[in-house]
């Protein structure tokens, strides 16, 4: 007999879940399947389904919803669904066919057998069984905040007990005993009702034991005063960033003037699953480019951890940028040590995604430099050397040189204060396409290191300048509207028969940057100073430049695209590949595809709105 069922075998291979099986198993598998057709509106899985039955969507689509009719997942071509072994009566998952669908069904007994024999398949199978339930739980947890991604916890949720306090007059010995007995690593020092300091086990070691201080001295002598504090409402992530910027490990949590708890980096790391704090600290301790490049390798680990702990696009971008900022600062310090102190004040600027604090691990350098005016020719030579040292150092740390020449090695991006002022007015008053593109870059410049007073006034000056320049706004808008979202990509993604390789999606160029450019234009219109795309969108809503709905939709689109990219990069890194921005359509789940489609649609609509609005006012 030569019953080949080659067609079905080929389709199994396009399913990432089945593709993990060895070839000979795949060759035999079609014979174990049955084929089912369910028309639109049919309940899914059908009533006669048995536990562990494994459904593979060959064509069509299915919505999975929880008991409150909340959409948990969408299954499309190539997605699998495993009928749960036991239904959780509190979280039943109900599906409905939303597009006439054809399925390949593997009966439960065969699915179980395959699981036992092939651990890789078992893992994917378990994920498929868990997924809808997990989404149900996640949907419940985030409650009313759906669609805004996973909101990180606030500090208040991490505080589990009131702080352990001690008076400044108590002895160091009493403090040590107290810490041991309460099993804490830090005490809050209270003078009456007033918070005066904090003492940690680190202080005991460093300031008492190592310094040869008597244990009978008052604890006030070794405590740290002038504390940074947070409130219960502070997002845990902000607390983490504060700690990493200040290089501290404990923060008192205040309610008014009353300390109500104490959080440590350990608490945060346990909850956030990140070592950003340690990473920044390690960077600060590096004394050479070599050691920096070694530490920088952990940046990838950081992104993996953050993505897996469900960080939002905003938090991920902030964390990765914080680390890259720290690397840059450290390299500048090393440059200053090497070439001597700078002859005039200067500031190192970041633009593009670093400027907006929206970076991910796959990023290249986009930097500029501003320095005080000087007639001395040596000044420029000094900063050229510095720029070369720092950019080469970043390159060694895995952040390649800017292919577009946006680097202070290039004289166009290394100017004196008056040089930048002249450049800003040039692009503002006589804008053309090229200048609008430059202006878009300039608009995202942010001081990473050095004298902010050189640049910040210049920036506000330039912003005021462009405020009254309709031609400038028109050029910026044209710049933002140059590219449309790849809606065709999605159509292709859905309609191209599987097996044929569709093009990959450049999620940055074809998605994220479109949102960022729109946000830039809105920020211009509203005269906003915020830099992050999400801040700009929120500001634009506040200023009435776009409606609340539009703002929320664009934020969702941004979140979707950013998260998709971050996950894609994590998958690549785990597979030992270089992370990039190119997502092959095959790797997208049905839900991701649905979200992506929504995101592109929103971007398309907002581009159209911007175009027609500017046309109506005669600006475009």
Partner 1 sequence: MIQPPGPRLFCWRRQRRAARVPPGPLRDYLAGRIPDLSSDCRETPFLAVDLETTGLNPAEDQILSIGWVAMDGLTIRLDTAGQCRVRPTREIPEASAVIHQITDDQAARGGSLGEALERFLEVLGGRVMLAHHAAVELGFLDQACQSEYGFACMIPTVDTLRLAQDEMERRQETVRSGGLRLNALRERYNLPRYKGHDALNDALAAAELFAAQVSHRAEDKPLPLHRVLHRPGPLW
Q: Which is nearer to partner 1, 101 or 521 (CB)?
A: 101
Q: Which is nearer to partner 1, 97 or 447 (CB)?
A: 97
> Six-digit token pair at 447?
């001081």
DSSP characters for 111-178?
HHHHHHH-HHHHHHHHHHHHHHHHHHHHHHHHGGGTTS-PPPPBHHHH--SPPPEE-TTSBHHHHHHH
Q: Measured from the CB of residue 78, what is the shortest distance to partner 1 in angstroms?
A: 11
Q: Measured from the CB of residue 16, what is the shortest distance to partner 1 in angstroms?
A: 18
Q: Measured from the CB of residue 3, what is the shortest distance to partner 1 in angstroms?
A: 5
Q: Which is nearer to partner 1, 8 or 601 (CB)?
A: 8
CA distance 241 to 237: 6
Q: Measured from the CB of residue 76, what is the shortest distance to partner 1 in angstroms?
A: 12
Q: Please say whether the beta carbons of 61 and 75 come within 8 A.
A: yes
Q: Measured from the CB of residue 499, what is the shortest distance to partner 1 in angstroms?
A: 9
> Six-digit token pair at 245?
């910027």
Q: Which is nearer to partner 1, 48 or 69 (CB)?
A: 48
In the chain the first and final C-alpha atoms are separated, in Å, by: 69
> Whose CA is closest to 488, among 474, 502, 470?
502
Q: Which is nearer to partner 1, 4 or 88 (CB)?
A: 4
> Whose CA is closest to 351, among 410, 433, 392, 311?
410
Q: Please say whether the beta carbons of 233 and 154 come within 8 A.
A: yes
Q: Measured from the CB of residue 285, what is the shortest distance to partner 1 in angstroms?
A: 59
How many Å separate Cα 315 from the centre of its chain?
5
CA distance 107 to 114: 11
Q: Measured from the CB of residue 47, what is the shortest distance to partner 1 in angstroms?
A: 12
CA distance 165 to 167: 7
Q: Measured from the CB of residue 77, what is the shortest distance to partner 1 in angstroms?
A: 8
Q: Measured from the CB of residue 97, what is the shortest distance to partner 1 in angstroms?
A: 10
Q: Measured from the CB of residue 28, what is the shortest distance to partner 1 in angstroms?
A: 11
Rg (CA), the chain: 28
Q: Which is nearer to partner 1, 110 or 388 (CB)?
A: 110
SS3 breakdown of the chain: % helix, strand, coil, rounded to 5? 55, 15, 30
> Whose CA is closest to 515, among 534, 531, 488?
534
Q: Measured from the CB of residue 101, what is the shortest distance to partner 1 in angstroms?
A: 7
**Can you list the positions of beta strands (E) in 410-566?**
414-416, 446-450, 505-506
Q: Which is nearer to partner 1, 13 or 139 (CB)?
A: 13
Residue 500, helix vs strand vs coil: coil
Q: Measured from the CB of residue 498, what is the shortest distance to partner 1 in angstroms?
A: 9
Q: Which is nearer to partner 1, 98 or 260 (CB)?
A: 98
Q: What's the Cα-to-Cα distance from 408 to each of 365, 368, 381, 604, rounded to whole Å?
A: 10, 5, 12, 35
CA distance 216 to 59: 78
Cis, bond preceding 419 (omega within 30 deg of 0): no
CA distance 389 to 392: 5
Report the number of secondary-structure helices (H) and strands (E) in the chain.
24, 18
Q: Which is nearer to partner 1, 481 or 493 (CB)?
A: 493
* Phi then psi dihedrals of residue 243, to 5 deg: -60, -40
Q: Measured from the CB of residue 111, what is the shortest distance to partner 1 in angstroms?
A: 15
Q: Which is nearer to partner 1, 8 or 151 (CB)?
A: 8
Q: Which is nearer to partner 1, 76 or 352 (CB)?
A: 76
Residues near partner 1, by CB under 8 A: 1-8, 30-39, 42, 58-60, 99-102, 105, 497
Q: Which is nearer to partner 1, 411 or 496 (CB)?
A: 496
* Phi then psi dihedrals of residue 151, to 5 deg: -80, 130
Residue 505, helix vs strand vs coil: strand
Q: Which is nearer to partner 1, 6 or 308 (CB)?
A: 6
Q: Which residue has the tokens 């400044």?
A: 168
For Cα atoms 282, 283, 286, give the angle at the middle one, nearest 5 degrees: 90
């Amino acid at each position: 007999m030569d019953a080949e069922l080659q067609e079905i075998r080929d389709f199994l291979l396009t399913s990432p879940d089945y593709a993990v099986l060895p070839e000979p198993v795949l060759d035999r598998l079609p014979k174990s399947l049955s084929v089912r057709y369910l028309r639109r509106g049919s309940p899914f899985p059908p009533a006669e389904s048995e536990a562990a039955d494994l459904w593979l969507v060959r064509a069509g689509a299915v919505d999975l919803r929880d008991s409150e009719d909340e959409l948990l997942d969408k299954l499309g071509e190539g997605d699998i669904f495993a009928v749960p072994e036991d239904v959780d009566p509190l979280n039943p998952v109900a599906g409905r066919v939303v597009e006439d669908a054809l399925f390949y069904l593997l009966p439960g007994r065969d699915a179980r057998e395959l699981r036992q024999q092939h651990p890789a398949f078992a893992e994917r199978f378990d994920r498929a069984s868990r997924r809808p339930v997990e989404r149900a739980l996640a949907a419940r947890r985030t409650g009313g905040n759906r669609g805004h991604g996973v909101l990180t916890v606030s500090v208040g949720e991490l505080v589990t007990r009131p702080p352990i306090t001690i008076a400044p007059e108590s002895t160091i010995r009493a403090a040590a005993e107290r810490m041991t007995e309460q099993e804490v690593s830090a005490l809050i020092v209270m003078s009456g009702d007033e918070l005066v300091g904090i003492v940690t086990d680190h202080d005991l070691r460093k300031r008492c034991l190592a310094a040869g201080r008597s244990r009978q001295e008052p604890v006030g002598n070794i405590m740290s005063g002038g504390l940074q504090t947070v409130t219960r409402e502070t997002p845990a992530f902000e607390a983490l960033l504060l700690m990493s910027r200040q290089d501290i490990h404990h923060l008192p949590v205040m309610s008014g003037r009353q300390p109500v708890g104490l959080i440590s980096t350990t608490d945060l790391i346990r909850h956030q699953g990140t070592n950003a704090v340690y990473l920044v600290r390690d960077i600060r301790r590096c004394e050479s480019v070599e050691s920096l490049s070694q530490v920088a390798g952990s940046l990838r680990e950081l992104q993996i951890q953050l993505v897996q702990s469900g960080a939002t696009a905003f938090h991920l971008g902030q964390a990765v940028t914080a680390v890259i900022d720290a690397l840059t600062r450290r390299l500048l310090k090393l440059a200053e040590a090497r070439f001597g102190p700078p002859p005039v004040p200067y500031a190192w600027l970041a633009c593009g995604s670093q400027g907006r604090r929206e970076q991910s691990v796959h990023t290249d350098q986009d930097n500029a430099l501003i320095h005080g005016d000087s007639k001395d020719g040596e000044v420029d030579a000094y900063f050229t050397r510095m720029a070369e040292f720092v950019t080469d150092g970043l390159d060694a740390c895995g952040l390649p040189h800017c292919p577009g020449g946006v680097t202070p090695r290039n004289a166009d991006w290394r100017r004196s204060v008056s040089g930048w002022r002249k450049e800003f007015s040039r692009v503002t008053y006589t804008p053309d396409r090229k200048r609008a593109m430059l202006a878009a870059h300039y608009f995202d410049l942010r001081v990473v290191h050095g004298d902010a007073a050189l640049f910040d006034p210049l920036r506000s000056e330039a912003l005021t300048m462009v405020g009254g320049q309709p031609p400038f706004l028109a050029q910026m808008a044209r710049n933002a509207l140059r590219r449309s979202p790849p809606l065709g990509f999605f159509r292709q993604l859905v309609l191209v028969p599987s097996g044929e390789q569709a093009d990959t999606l450049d999620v940055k160029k074809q998605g994220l940057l479109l949102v960022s450019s729109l946000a830039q234009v809105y920020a211009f219109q509203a005269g906003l100073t915020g830099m992050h795309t999400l801040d700009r969108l929120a500001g634009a809503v506040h200023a009435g430049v776009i409606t609340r709905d539009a703002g929320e939709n664009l934020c969702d689109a941004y979140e979707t695209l950013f998260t998709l990219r971050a996950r894609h990069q994590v998958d690549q890194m785990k597979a030992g590949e270089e992370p990039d921005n190119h997502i092959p359509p095959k790797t997208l789940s049905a839900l991701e595809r649905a979200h992506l489609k929504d995101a592109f649609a929103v971007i398309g609509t907002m581009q159209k709105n911007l175009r027609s609005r500017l046309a109506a006012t005669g600006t475009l």
